Structure 1
Amino acid sequence: MAEANGDAPDFTAPLANGDIDEFTLADELADGPVVLAFFPGAFTSVCTTEMCTFDDRLSKFDDIGADVYGISVDSPFALNEFRDQNDLSFGLISDIDKEIIDAYDVRMDFADLGVHGVAKRAVFVVGADGEITYEWVSDDPGVEPEYDEIAAAVDDTA
């Protein structure tokens, strides 16, 4: 289970970045801190707002030397379309096998809707040393994270 002040579970997964490439967390940490923003599903209202807000604030993270990645259980093909439709300039990681949401303990179900095994809305800041320095997890998919708090956590990590 992933938690603040613990080691971030490493993973390799498809990265939707206009193409489809392979993403490995350990490799990305060599460039500095990473923000992992888990979201339940592409093309939903709150998820779209959240990813667009991260994109709007991307320069803050770039200035600190941190990279932002969204993560959902959607296919990399759907995530590329989601990126294109919303003009997102950061990569989206496909956890189609649901291994990352399990490793970070952010799996949730909408049993009344018949939807099982999607990501909770959650944000982890991982330092270059692989340690989680910030964690925010919501059981309410309608709640967005505190973006300024995340930026401050990244600034403290960098």
Structure 2
Amino acid sequence: MVNEGDDAPDFTAPMAHPDGDIEEVALSDLIDDGPAVLAFFPGAFTSVCTGEMVTFRDRLDNITEAGADLYGISIDTPFALDEFADVNQLNFPLISDSNKELIDAYDVEMDFEGLGLTGVAKRAVFVVDESGTVTYAWVSDDPGVEPDYDEVEAAAADA
């Protein structure tokens, strides 16, 4: 698992912007202007994931005022993420890990036993500073548990 103090695994993946544009982005692009908060979630249009992303939407000013940018990440396609963002009026980009390279690199892959659903993201949050170092790492083995948003905001301010 990726821990605090580790170099953040680099990646290139498609990203859906709030304005509907989809482009390829690398981690180095995301941390070019300051820290990045990477919020992994199991799947778009599910109840807990929607609640988490909407909470991040409503608290985004606290993260951006700390000088960080927020990115949601799931295995959904960029087109599904674009629709998810539109329906929920999300004001931050969503990164598609449909090839499951990010969940593998960050070691946050889980299966929903009994449903036959394998290889989705655990609910996890990483803060990566401008040098590419992970300054905060939170991972839950329980997909029903949301992050401590105050803690994430504090970590973004400290990065």
TM-score normalised per structure 2: 0.97
The question of 1:3 aligning with 2:23 is answered no
Q: Which runs of 4+ in 1 moved over 2 A?
A: none
Cα distance between partner residues in 2 of 1:75 and 1:5: 30
Instruction: After TM superposition, list the pairs within 5 Å mapping 1:37-48 onto structure 2.
Output: 37-48=39-50
How many residues align structurally? Answer: 157
Letter in 2 for 1:141: P
Instruction: After TM superposition, list the pairs within 5 Å mapping 1:101-120 onto structure 2.
Output: 101-120=103-122
Q: Which residue of 2 aligns with 1:34?
A: 36
Cα distance between partner residues in 2 of 1:4 and 1:57: 23
Q: Report deviation, 1:74.
A: 0.3
Cα distance between partner residues in 2 of 1:75 and 1:24: 17
The question of 1:16 aligning with 2:16 is answered yes
Instruction: After TM superposition, list the pairs within 5 Å mapping 1:50-129 onto structure 2.
Output: 50-129=52-131
Q: Report deviation, 1:101.
A: 0.1
Q: Which residue of 1 aligns with 2:142?
A: 140
Cα distance between partner residues in 2 of 1:88 and 1:114: 29
Secondary structure at the counterpart of residue 128 of structure 1: coil
Question: Where does the alignment leave 5 or more consecutive residues of structure 1 unmatched?
Answer: none
TM-score normalised per structure 1: 0.98
Letter in 1 for 2:3: E
Instruction: Pick the structure with more helix per residue.
Output: 1
Q: CA RMSD in A?
A: 0.7
Question: Where does the alignment leave 5 or more consecutive residues of structure 2 unmatched?
Answer: none
Letter in 1 for 2:87: Q
Letter in 1 for 2:131: D
Secondary structure at the counterpart of residue 13 of structure 1: strand
